Amino acid sequence: MGGGEGFSSNMVKSSLPNFWPYFRDRFSLLPRLTSNSQSFLHLSSTGISAISCKGQHSISYTLSRNQTVVVEYTHDKDMDMFQVGRSTESPIDFVVTDTVSGGQNDDAQITQSTISRFACRIVCDRSEPYTARIFAAGFDSSKNIFLGEKAAKWKNPDGHMDGLTTNGVLVMHPRGGFTQESQPGVWREISVCGDVYTLRETRSAQQRGKLVESETNVLQDGSLIDLCGATLLWRTADGLFHTPTQKHIEALRQEINAARPQCPVGLNTLAFPSINRKEVVEEKQPWAYLSCGHVHGYHNWGHRSDTEANERECPMCRTVGPYVPLWLGCEAGFYVDAGPPTHAFTPCGHVCSEKSAKYWSQIPLPHGTHAFHAACPFCATQLVGEQNCIKLIFQGPVD
């Protein structure tokens, strides 16, 4: 995760946690020069005028036009706070924009973003093991979190106020960690005070879900954070230590190219392009029929529909389906293992290891304000097909 006095969007490993605004970039979280975190101090029931105090971090819960409950916070020297949201104001450490399917920017969609300007805050211990906890909503430039009259809010049995943001902050922890044995977890909603709840009936419903007392807001390696418009992948330092590196992925690319896979029809040698040229379809680029997995070079025959230009008939097995160029998934942080690139996501054609492909194919990612579907981690394209991915069938050289 990126943050504070220093953050990085390059691919250099950090000794601290990292996160990816899903499908886009990496930020490395670094300790701040001085702590800026806040801890709960006390409650006060008052009018709106108390909110204007800029010297004190606080959360304001508007109960009615005439009553606002203010929860004040005090400095905590043992923790650092990092904030995530759409706002470009200085309190936001990581500005996150909407994830658009296919990895393309869409200014119209981002203008209508459902990501909160001050979406969430992550509080990390300044000493090992650097435990990180996530909370819904972030402090604005007035050091205030303001939950309006229509926001879901309540008083807990111990007298503490809590609430939810309009579209919520959802978290999913993978079962078994972020490894080749990982399985999807259950999506939960995180409250402003960091409690864990089942999902609301709809994303912005005023009635909260049920409290899940057995779970906490501590982030784990591979945790997914959804902000209703963008999904973040959290990676820990230890998790990244065991993750394939960019050099390893490049070695896999060179190894598969060295095997000289050939088009079974044209008999021309195929080669995955350099990662630096991942947006350019090259002459030797491998293409695949995603209904059967047969890998070919590019050709312009086999069309079976005038309306579906991408529907082709495989000359090897006569299966009809999408015919797309293959791209090696180049973001190492999405891999759950270091296996060879043998499987492709459908319908985008991004290629990675079998276990990584099958893991992401099972993840129901929030989509919009009400739907869930699996998506390619490299480009955000919604996955389709029986398994959401296909095993590739390469033909070796015939000489």
DSSP string, 219-264: --TT-EEE-SS-EEEEE-HHHHHTSPPHHHHHHHHHHHHHT--B-T
Quick one: which of 148, 149, 88, 145 has its CA closest to 120?
145
314 neighbors 157 (Cβ within 8 angstroms): no
Instruction: Parse the chain into domains and list their residue ranges.
Output: 18-241, 246-391
Instruction: Say whether 360 sits in a helix, a strand or coil.
Output: helix
Quick one: which of 260, 128, 135, 262 has its CA closest to 192?
135
Q: Which residues pair with 324 in a beta bridge?
A: 288
Per-residue burial over 309-339, b = 16 or more CB atoms within 10 Å of its CB, e = otherwise: eebbbbebeeebbbbbebbbbbbbbbbbbbb
Using DSSP bridges, classify how beta strands 120-125 and 94-95 pair: parallel, antiparallel or unpaired: unpaired
What does each of the 399 residues of the chain score in pLDDT, given as a tens digit? 333 333 322 222 333 455 544 444 677 777 787 777 666 554 544 444 444 455 678 888 888 777 888 888 877 788 899 999 999 998 898 998 887 766 554 444 445 788 999 999 999 998 888 899 999 999 988 888 988 778 899 988 888 889 999 999 999 999 988 999 999 999 999 999 999 999 999 888 889 999 999 999 999 999 999 999 899 999 998 888 888 988 999 999 999 999 999 988 888 899 998 877 666 788 899 999 999 999 999 888 767 665 566 788 899 899 898 899 999 998 899 999 999 999 999 999 999 999 999 999 999 999 877 789 999 999 999 999 888 999 999 987 655
∠ CA 349-354-356, nearest 5°, is 85
Using DSSP bridges, classify how beta strands 37-46 and 287-289 pair: parallel, antiparallel or unpaired: unpaired
